[in-house]
Structure 1
Amino acid sequence: MSSEMTAVVIHEAGGPEVLKLERRPVPVPRDGEVLIRVRAFGLNRSELFTRQGHSPNVAFPRILGIEAVGEVVAAPGGEFAVGAIVATAMGGMGRAFDGGYAEFTKVPAHQVQRLETSLDWATLGAVPEMLQTAWGSLFQALELERGDTLLIRGGTTSVGLAAAAIARSRGATVAATTRDPGSETMLRENGADHVIIDSGRIADEVRSVFPCGARKVLELVGTTTLLDSLQCTRKGGTVVMTGMVGNAWALDNFSPMDAIPTTVRLTTYSGGSNDFMRTPLQDLVREIELGHLRPKIGKVFQLSEIVEAHRTMEENRAGGKIVVLV
């Protein structure tokens, strides 16, 4: 193995072009760490925000990337066999320490899951953070139960599509939103029982489907639709804010007494390495292999195409999860 690797390094905030291919030393793992030969990774909007300069706690230069899949090269502590297929996510990847945008990444062993799978790297690379986010939002934040009514705001996102399929398979009734009427078939094929065209104010449409409102609401658009999502929720129901594809970080002049209906609960889910390790990733991967879950992969790029991959993400042109093969 060469002592150097190709990595994508960011030295300053800016547009996609600030992501530079460079030669860097291959990291050397210590006890409690795992060196992974990265085969693929998914792109995430948090990486876009960091690249744009919205993560003040991230010091540059940095190799971004909050997730990766690949094969174990070394695990000095003996936690994994060399050659094992593994997935890792969160826990400071791409933020506190260098992440997955490289041929190799070194991560703590306690945030790595071993997988038995026949999936191709492009499919496997799409799932760690996507499934962790969908599963954690549904079952940790929303405590989804069989028979629940679920509204997914931002249903055509990769997390939204995964959440719909998972929730439907666990006995929930799912309504998903989209701004594009042409996406209805895709949403229904991925688990949505009802499709709502999102005008920005959909409480009446939601109550035509769920007369009392949805018991659980997964908010993936963010602050631009959060106040309306609260109005879509039944008494005693819960809204979890997980995503921010609307690219707005804060609410102006937020008045909780006016914004949150009586007895409706509002929470958030961001997911850390502990949440990733609690995700039954092996079981979900098996569901993908059996065709019960179909992760929506938008476009696949090579590592050398990282600038175009980020530009595609920023311009919302992917139509699903973006995966980079290494």
Structure 2
Amino acid sequence: MSQPTAAAGTAPATMRAVVVTRPGGLEALEIKDVPVPVRKPGWVRIKVKAFGVNESEVTTRKGESDPEVTYPRVPGIEGVGVVDEASGLRPGQQVATMMGNMGCSYDGAYAQYVTVPATQVIPFETSLPWDLVGALPEMFQTAYGSLTRGLDLKAGQTLLIRGGTSTVGLSAAGIAKDLGATVLSTTRSEARARELRAAGVDHPLVDNGTVADQVRELMPDGVDAALELVGCSVLPDTLHTVRRHGTVCFTGALAGQWTIPDFSPFMIPGGVRLTSYGGEAADLPADVFAHQLQAIAAGRLNVPVAKVYHGLEQVRDAQADLESGATPGKHVVVLDD
């Protein structure tokens, strides 16, 4: 039996949203009164409760994103909230959404309401606070998708995370430990090694540009899998940390280098596999998200939240803090009723 359709007309005619009319600095993030989006067939309208702030939204604001981004645009590639109007979902159902060109080719979650395709909506039930749940969708989808679809990580295997103090790196460490893996993870700062320990990392490593020798001292045959988040500048070294028939998954480029000039397939060590992960909401199934929420509630999984901001008025502060990099972890904006 299908669930009831959420009643139409529960939302007001207008809402407050952060709008980028044209690319620019933080002043380009303007709070405006705009019409509440009308739900299209096969889409869901969500009353937004919280959203994470991401690097891609900074590039959208600056005009450095994908060419498909047009202005004016409401940014926001992820959000959590409750169903306002939909077919097949009950009114008030807790949901998460992310990716799928949200905030790029159509308006995103920096608003009181957002409409998204039903295929990128993840229903859930939790008593965890919105500021915590709001940190999760994009971060956990990327981490979980990289570990499963990208690396097919299994209990008892060893994993290297290159770029371990990033939000995805910290999330991947927690998820990998929950899966039963042994985790090695890198940081460029000796002082942040304790942060990796707190996230459950078994072997924190200080990355000076090469870590293959350090990994081989711990695991002479190499690790089973490696998650590359730093980028192509260190990818050749990461490839040498993995055992024969192990896999490296390229997911991010924190150092900014996405390509390798004059790339040759022969730079990949014999027998080592190289793949990549981009991912969409479907890579974080509802049952997996439910398990992660339960693990957080039970204290088995930590969420790296840097700071919580209240209201759209603090979005500029959130983006400024994210750009500064002074506070590690996820920056989350909560919309108070």
- TM-score for the superposition, normalised by structure 2: 0.91
Instruction: Give distance in 2, aligned partners of 1:235 and 1:208.
Output: 16
> Deviation at 1:128?
0.9
Tell me the equivalent position of 2:273: 265
TM-fit CA distance, 1:244 = 2.0
> In structure 1, what is the equivalent of residue 300 of structure 2?
292
One-letter amino acid of the counterpart of residue 10, structure 1: V
Name whichever of 124-133 and 218-227 sits farther off.
Answer: 218-227
TM superposition shift of 1:204: 0.6
5 Å-filtered alignment, 1:168-317, equals 168-257=177-266, 259-277=267-285, 280-302=288-310, 303-317=312-326
Return the match for 2:329 from 307, 320, 323.
Answer: 320
2: CA distance, partners of 1:271 / 1:209: 31
Of residues 147-156 and 47-56 in structure 1, the stretch that sits farther from structure 2 once superposed is 47-56
Residue 59 of structure 1 is aligned with which of 70, 77, 83? 70
Residue in 1 aligned with 2:146? 137
Aligned counterparts, 1:10-159, within 5 A? 10-52=20-62, 53-75=64-86, 77=87, 79-159=88-168
Identity %: 45
Q: CA deviation at 1:306?
A: 1.4
C-alpha deviation, 1:48, in angstroms? 2.5
For 1:222 and 1:143, locate their aligned partners in 2 and report how far apart those are by CA, in whole Å.
20
Deviation at 1:279, TM superposition (A): 6.9
1:212-266 Cα offsets, whole Å, 9 max, x none, are 2221000111223222211222221111111222223322332332x31112111
Runs (5+) with no aligned partner, structure 2: 1-10
Query: Any idea what the Cα deviations from partners look like across 1:47-82, whole Å, max 9, x if unmatched?
Result: 23333313112122211111100111111x2x1111
Separation in 1 of the partners of 2:184 and 2:315? 34
Deviations 1:173-221 (A, max 9, x none): 1100001111222211212110100101111111111112221000111
**Distance in structure 1 (CA, Å) of the matches to 2:21 and 2:115:** 20
Deviation at residue 35 of structure 1 after TM alignment: 1.0
- The alignment of Structure 1 onto Structure 2 pairs a total of residues equal to 323
Q: How far is 1:278 from its partner?
A: 6.5
User: 1:273, CA displacement in angstroms?
Assistant: 3.0
Secondary structure (helix, strand or coil) at the match of 1:280 reads helix
**Letter paired with 1:287:** A
Counterpart CA distance in 2 for 1:243 and 1:306 is 24
Please provide the CA RMSD for this pair. Answer: 1.6
Give 1:34's aligned amino acid: V
How far did 1:311 drift? 1.7
